[in-house]
């Protein structure tokens, strides 16, 4: 899976890395390489939390959707 990351220099000299596809997934580093390594470490846990919050739906073995009462 590929995620785009934006890098921006902060006023204090740190580089801020953000993954726009995962709101709130932000990290920083003293240089671009460190910021990229840190955002990589931040993406996986954020992705796990995001996926765990997705609604789930049951599908029968035949592939048809359950009736409205079963939902």
Q: Establish if 44 belongs to a structural domain.
A: yes
Residue 67 has pLDDT above 60, yes or no: no
Q: What is the pLDDT of residues 27-36, one digit of tens each?
A: 999 999 999 9
Residue 31 CA: distances (Å) to CA of 7, 25, 71? 10, 18, 50
Instruction: Give which of 36, 32, 38 is closest to 15, Cα–Cα.
Output: 32
Among the residue ranges 14-18, 23-27, 50-54, 56-60, the one predicted with the least confidence is 56-60
- Report in angstroms the alpha-carbon separations of 36 from 5, 46, 59: 8, 15, 39
Whether 27 is covered by a domain: the verdict is yes
Q: pTM of the prediction?
A: 0.66
Is residue 34 assigned to a domain? yes
Total domains in the fold of the chain: 1
Could you tell me if 51 and 38 are in contact, meaning their C-beta atoms sit under 8 angstroms apart?
A: no
pLDDT of 16 > 80? The answer is yes
Is 35 a domain residue? yes
């Amino acid at each position: 899976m590929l995620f785009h990351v934006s890098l921006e220099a902060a006023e204090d000299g740190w580089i801020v890395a953000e993954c726009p596809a995962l709101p709130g997934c932000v990290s920083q580093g003293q240089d671009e390489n460190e910021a990229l390594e840190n955002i990589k470490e931040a993406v996986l846990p954020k992705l796990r939390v995001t996926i765990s919050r997705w609604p789930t739906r049951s599908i029968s073995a035949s592939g048809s959707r359950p009736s409205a009462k079963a939902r």
